[in-house]
Amino acid sequence: MTRGRIRAKFRRSSLYTFATCRRPHTSDEEETTCLPVQGPGYSRVVQCNQPYLHEIKPLKYCTNYISTTKYNFITFIPKAIFEQFRRVANLYFLLAAALSLTPVTPFAPLSVIAPLVFVVGLSMAKEAMEDWRRFVQDMKVNLRKASVHKQDGTFGPMPWMKIRVGDVVKVEKDQFFPADLLFLSSSYEDGICYVETMNLDGETNLKVKRALEVTQNIEDDSSLKDFSGTIKCEDPNSSLYNFVGKMEYDCKVYPIDPSQILLRDSKLRNTAYVYGVVVFTGQDSKVMQNSTKSPSKRSTIEKQMDKIIYILFIVLVVMSVMSSIGFIMKTKYDLPNWWYLQVPDHEHLYDPQQPLQSGFYHLVTALMLYGYLIPISLYVSIEVVKVLQAHFINKDIHMFDEETGTPAQARTSNLNEELGQVDTILSDKTGTLTCNQMDFIKCSIAGIAYGTLPSDVELAAAEQMVMDMDGQGKRGMPQSVEKGCEFVKSDIQLETVVTAKDDMLKHPIKGFSFEDKRLMSGNWFNESTADNILLFFRILSVCHTAIPEQNEETGTYTYEAESPDEGAFLIAAREFGFELSKRTQLGVHVRERYPSYEDPVEREYKVLNLLDFTSKRKRMSVIVRDENDQILLLCKGADSIIFERLANGGKEYLDVTTTHLNDYGEAGLRTLAIAYKKLDEAEYNAWNDEFNRAKTSFGSDREANLERVSDMMERDLILVGATAVEDKLQKGVPQCIDKLALAGLKIWVLTGDKMETAINIGFSCSLLRQGMKQICIAVNPEVFVSNESSVEEGILKQITDGFQMVKQEKDPHAAYALIIDGKTLAYALEDDMKHIFLRLAVECASVICCRVSPKQKALVTRLVKEGTGKITLAIGDGANDVGMIQEADIGVGISGCEGMQAVMASDFAIAEFRFLERLLVVHGHWCYKRIAQMICYFFYKNIAFGLTIFYFEMFAGFSGQSVYDDWYMLLFNVVLTSLPVISLGVFEQDVDSEVCLQFPTLYQQGPKNLFFDWLRIFGWMANGLYASLIIFFLNIIIFYDQAFRASGQTADMTAVGTAMMTSVLWAVNVQIVLTMSHFTWIQHVLIVASIATWYLFLLVYGELRHALEVNAFRILLEILAPAPIYWSSTLLVTVVCNLPYFAHISLQRSLNPLDHHIIQEIKYYKKDIEDGRMWSRERSKARQKTKIGFSARVDAKIRQLKGRLHKK
């Protein structure tokens, strides 16, 4: 922005009167976090330029060191461990580990502690890594250098973290502010500077800050030597747009408002340097106060998994109690006879005299022994899998936006599978569905409509109509004459539309798509209403807060405007010949090509006051003095607001303009009304005095005062005309919505826009269509005034009526759309009404909520989430969507253009709305199936293994002895079976991504939860139970008494245990092969490796000294491997274990195949290539019944035409 451009210096002391909720972003967004300062809390005292005073209490404030880390070196261990053991399962394992040190343990302590340490260590290592990354980032910030005043009039560099309250710092161009500063002076003589607040609120346009007049004269370093003052201000708080304080300087008190505060993490732009006094440091700064931790979310599957774990815990306890009862009986009645045990022992673990005490000890033993039912490595495996899945999402090249260079980003990995189960999408409109790029496209001046180019919506509608017809043609519908006519008509329309658009593309000016010869090139001089047109253009070029920038090379101007609407107006004004060229101290300079078009004249308008735009006021005005000393109030604002402020004499064009506004609204355009009023000197002066009083007043009612005074001025206006700008739809949005609708997703639009605009966008996205019955629920403004209860009654009646209507609908194709506005929604969201409202909304095909505040967005999201129990996804781009994004089960932020606020709060970030399709339909679908299958398999495997331990107990007098070596058990979960299941969770694909996209209906397997319902979970558990029975009893029968080798030896416990373990491993690994349907070399390697590792382990283990202690010495080499029966038992058990599952899946596939089975087969036989027609026919049928999206539109059209034919 610096090189090649000239920026005029100017002073505008009267700008930004309402320096409050600065979120003008777009006019359609409702008021944001606009918290009035309340309560006492004005205790902060800052001694300017005397930081040493702040080193002792009570003036000692926190340092400027910031930390976003969760832990530090000391707290990491305790805190991270605490976090880990908040999981019930981990706590159980911790308890087991502690008990393993007592004599009741069935295992060697190491074999219990080692896996726990491994699992917890791995999770903690992940935490530590993430925290380290945060720490490095923090330190980078903390060590940035800023130049700080050193008491003697010189400045020296100092790291940010050392900066204290009261320090005077000098910030240079394009540097970040190190703390919240009070702006003292800048390189500009009138003490203004430009600030980019991208990091705070995501707005890209620059803001102007203005120093107090008394401090503006601090010009160089040396003049700061003797500078001092005292600031008294509010305590640290999170409100970005508010600041209340005062400064005592030279024995006078000056109020400080937000325009003198430079916030940390915003950037100085277009200003050589500024001086500032540090007011808030570190954690006290507004930006740090604002950083909220997003709530941690857990996926439905994980919640269900917890339930399974609880079930397994119950099974575990039941088994342990059974085992203990068995133990008590054995101990009491049999043990005294078992002389070889020499009971009782000293520790009373086996005391027939005290069977209950021994039984209790045994219960503890049993709880540990059967702990293998609960997979210790499950959480850690899931975490690994999800991180890898997230990696795939991040790396997906199809979700990379070339234009902005943004890849998709899975910011939290623990919701991947939730993406596959979404039922309702709640979408923001501006910036999400639309680009938030405004094009000036039409206007109405003095009752005459100008502008011939069609809007996107009109264009889409025309295209759609032609497409509808084409769709019909393909389906071989008989053509009626009538329809033929329609064809021709729409073709012609389309042609004109397309060619017109092409013309425009030849000379594209960003923000300006206007074409009308009557106004262009000075032709408007000849219009009959030239006076009004002149006034209109002048208002466009003067009534704004933008800053012009000249490009040195081309000499043209660009504008830094607060909102894209305003930018579009200025560009339009420039194109019409009213080029804003300069902002000076006193006003704006406009180069007007008037009265002669060829010869521009520079005129100056002195800006006396500026009543800026807020979403509450919905209007902005400037009061200017023109060259003829005429004082004018120029105003632009929402039509409804302006219309109620018109003077009786100013309504000349009201009716015509209203008609035009309605037309524009229908075409999907955003409209503003333009008005003015002439003031005489005395009137103005009287008002100005009052205004200044309000402005300098101090306290919480300041804004109310300002507003009241402004309101007095903005009355009796004269309407000039109206503007219409187009909010462009983003690329691929209608297609994406259609695909999502076909996948069976419901889409709600929540927007701050007014109803008409929202409806228009609804039409252009095919969320609404002709023939859809619209249920509009709105408050009747007259009733609103009268009383609250009747309003409520009215709304309730509207909702109930709508509900009755929907319920009584006989036509299965009838589609309803619910449109509700914010005011009404406030009532509809009340406890007594929200359920009926939700029931109505669920019945409707599309729901559009307009004029909703960020809070309401979140409330609606919560209502849908809790009311339907289905999974919701919220998508949005701006700070006003944060609430909704955090509230929904999944929050998706658009990271393309606007700021980072929404992205920061989101779980997934994508560059554009259209990537949502791939994120859900491909990644969501895969992740859901992967995780579901993985968890099922995990439980299967641990049940199959864990129960064999229990069975063995029955044959070991319930004594707590395990048949397996401790190390086998340890390795089972951690090494031997973990990698194949992880590969299942990471790489499994039922069908490839192409097919996922082509058959959107496959997505419904997720929301219907086909792969993780209780039937399936219990099926898997039953499979585990069966496998455990087979593994145990087959092995026992084969090995228990007979010699198992030609040389006559019988098998001891270790040999039986090892043979059994071999069977377990083969059985579960073959099972996973049957479960998978997609084998890359990775799966092959991992599965083979797991089995190979087992034998390798036995070989190595058999040679270790340790093996001598546990009878496992050379277990494989000398004892088992030479015995054919060992191998033969493995084969037998493996086959028997997997036979039922294999028969089950074969039977299911042959008799009751699921959709993905058929598609796999089609792909397998390459039928999709041989029979392309069948393939595309099935693709077109593979969709959910939906009433939205353009496919539904086409269907409706066909039905309509068919109906007509029938009548004939």
Question: 1041 to 1100, contacts with another protein by CB under 8 A?
Answer: 1041-1057, 1077-1082
Mention every residue, 6+ apart, whose C-beta is less than 8 A from residue 887. Answer: 858, 861, 862, 865, 874
Q: Are 909 and 903 in contact (CB under 8 A)?
A: yes
From 33-41, 334-342, 649-657, 966-974, span contacting another protein (CB under 8 A)? 334-342
- Secondary structure string (H, E, C) spanning 317-373: HHHHHHHHHHHHHHHHHHHHHCHHHCCCCCCCCCCCCCHHHHHHHHHHHHHHHHHHH
From 338-346, 697-705, 761-769, 874-882, span contacting another protein (CB under 8 A)? 338-346
Which is nearer to another protein, 572 or 1112 (by Cβ)?
1112
CA gap 828, 834 in Å, rounded: 5
CA gap 93, 85 in Å, rounded: 9
- Of 79, 144, 606, 839, the residue at the interface with another protein (CB under 8 A) is 144
User: Is residue 554 near another protein by the rule CB under 8 A?
Assistant: no
φ/ψ (deg, to 5) at 893 = -110, 145
Mention every residue, 6+ apart, whose C-beta is less than 8 A from residue 805. Answer: 773, 775, 816
From 225-233, 422-430, 652-660, 1180-1188, span contacting another protein (CB under 8 A)? 1180-1188
φ/ψ (deg, to 5) at 622 = -125, 150
Which is nearer to another protein, 346 or 1207 (by Cβ)?
346
| 3-class secondary-structure state, position 541 | helix
From 181-189, 560-568, 1020-1028, 1163-1171, span contacting another protein (CB under 8 A)? 1163-1171
User: Is residue 1184 near another protein by the rule CB under 8 A?
Assistant: yes
* Catalytic residue, candidates 28, 180, 428, 821: 428
Which is nearer to another protein, 124 or 193 (by Cβ)?
193
Which is nearer to another protein, 366 or 820 (by Cβ)?
366
Question: For the sheet containing 5-6, what is the strand order?
Answer: 5-6, 547-551, 557-560
- Of 5, 126, 134, 348, the residue at the interface with another protein (CB under 8 A) is 5
User: Is residue 155 near another protein by the rule CB under 8 A?
Assistant: no
- Of 325, 956, 1089, 1198, the residue at the interface with another protein (CB under 8 A) is 956
Which residues within the stretch 984-1003 sit at the binding site for another protein (CB under 8 A)? 987, 989, 992-993, 1001
From 167-175, 492-500, 581-589, 786-794, span contacting another protein (CB under 8 A)? 167-175
Q: Are 233 and 279 in contact (CB under 8 A)?
A: yes
Which is nearer to another protein, 519 or 1034 (by Cβ)?
1034
User: Is residue 396 near another protein by the rule CB under 8 A?
Assistant: yes
Which residues within the stretch 65-124 sit at the binding site for another protein (CB under 8 A)? 68, 106
Minimum CB separation from another protein for residue 363, in Å? 14
User: Is residue 1157 near another protein by the rule CB under 8 A?
Assistant: yes
User: Is residue 1037 near another protein by the rule CB under 8 A?
Assistant: yes
Minimum CB separation from another protein for residue 1037, in Å? 5
CA gap 244, 450 in Å, rounded: 46
CA gap 751, 880 in Å, rounded: 10
User: Is residue 556 near another protein by the rule CB under 8 A?
Assistant: no
User: Is residue 1162 near another protein by the rule CB under 8 A?
Assistant: yes
Which residues within the stretch 773-802 sit at the binding site for another protein (CB under 8 A)? none
User: Is residue 1139 near another protein by the rule CB under 8 A?
Assistant: yes
The DSSP 8-state label assigned to residue 515 in this structure reads -
User: Is residue 394 near another protein by the rule CB under 8 A?
Assistant: yes
Which residues within the stretch 559-588 sit at the binding site for another protein (CB under 8 A)? none
Which residues within the stretch 192-211 sit at the binding site for another protein (CB under 8 A)? 199
CA quadruple 590, 594, 597, 600: dihedral sign: negative
Q: Are 562 and 610 in contact (CB under 8 A)?
A: no
Ramachandran region, residue 611 (left: φ > 0; alpha: ψ -120 to 50; beta: rest): beta
Which residues within the stretch 261-300 sit at the binding site for another protein (CB under 8 A)? 265, 267, 287, 291
CA gap 187, 173 in Å, rounded: 10
Mention every residue, 6+ apart, whose C-beta is less than 8 A from residue 536. Answer: 443, 445, 446, 674, 720, 721
User: Is residue 314 near another protein by the rule CB under 8 A?
Assistant: no
Point out the annotated binding site for ATP.
Answer: 428-430, 566, 613, 636, 670, 751-753, 851, 857, 880-881
Minimum CB separation from another protein for residue 20, in Å? 23
Which is nearer to another protein, 586 or 991 (by Cβ)?
991
Which is nearer to another protein, 4 or 473 (by Cβ)?
4
Point out the annotated binding site.
Answer: 428-430, 566, 613, 636, 670, 751-753, 851, 857, 877, 880-881
- Of 56, 74, 251, 397, the residue at the interface with another protein (CB under 8 A) is 397
User: Is residue 395 near another protein by the rule CB under 8 A?
Assistant: yes
User: Is residue 332 near another protein by the rule CB under 8 A?
Assistant: no
Instruction: Count the site residues for another protein by CB under 8 A.
Output: 135
E strand or H helix that includes residue 5: strand 5-6
User: Is residue 406 near another protein by the rule CB under 8 A?
Assistant: yes
Minimum CB separation from another protein for residue 610, in Å? 29
CA gap 330, 349 in Å, rounded: 13
DSSP notation for 930-968: HHHHHHHHHHHHHHHHHHHHHHHHHHTTT----SS-HHH
**What are 1175-1181's contacts with CB under 8 Å, separation 24+?**
1178/999, 1179/998, 1179/999
Minimum CB separation from another protein for residue 804, in Å? 24
Which is nearer to another protein, 590 or 1120 (by Cβ)?
1120
How far does Cα 754 stand from its chain's mean position?
A: 24
Nearest Cα to Cα of residue 981 among 1073, 1112, 899? 1073
User: Is residue 1145 near another protein by the rule CB under 8 A?
Assistant: yes
Which is nearer to another protein, 713 or 1107 (by Cβ)?
1107
User: Is residue 1161 near another protein by the rule CB under 8 A?
Assistant: yes
User: Is residue 143 near another protein by the rule CB under 8 A?
Assistant: no
Q: Are 991 and 1002 in contact (CB under 8 A)?
A: yes
Point out the annotated binding site for Mg(2+).
Answer: 428, 430, 877, 881
- For 730-749, letters b (16+ CB in 10 Å) and e give beebbebbbbbbbbbbbbbb
From 208-216, 714-722, 913-921, 1135-1143, span contacting another protein (CB under 8 A)? 1135-1143
- Of 349, 367, 376, 634, the residue at the interface with another protein (CB under 8 A) is 349
Which is nearer to another protein, 76 or 951 (by Cβ)?
951
Mention every residue, 6+ apart, whose C-beta is less than 8 A from residue 1073. Answer: 1087
Which is nearer to another protein, 77 or 1108 (by Cβ)?
1108
Which is nearer to another protein, 54 or 267 (by Cβ)?
267
From 535-543, 939-947, 959-967, 1019-1027, span contacting another protein (CB under 8 A)? 959-967
User: Is residue 13 near another protein by the rule CB under 8 A?
Assistant: no
Minimum CB separation from another protein for residue 716, in Å? 46
User: Is residue 1142 near another protein by the rule CB under 8 A?
Assistant: yes
- For 240-250, letters b (16+ CB in 10 Å) and e give bbbbbbbbebe
- Of 70, 618, 773, 1114, the residue at the interface with another protein (CB under 8 A) is 1114
CA gap 358, 344 in Å, rounded: 10
Nearest Cα to Cα of residue 472 among 1206, 1203, 1177, 1195? 1195
Retrieve residue 1016's tokens: 């399936």
Beta strand extents in 132-289 (DSSP E only): 145-149, 155-159, 168-172, 180-186, 192-196, 206-210, 229-233, 245-249, 252-256, 261-262, 267-269, 273-280
502 counts as catalytic: no
Q: Which residues are designated catalytic? A: 428
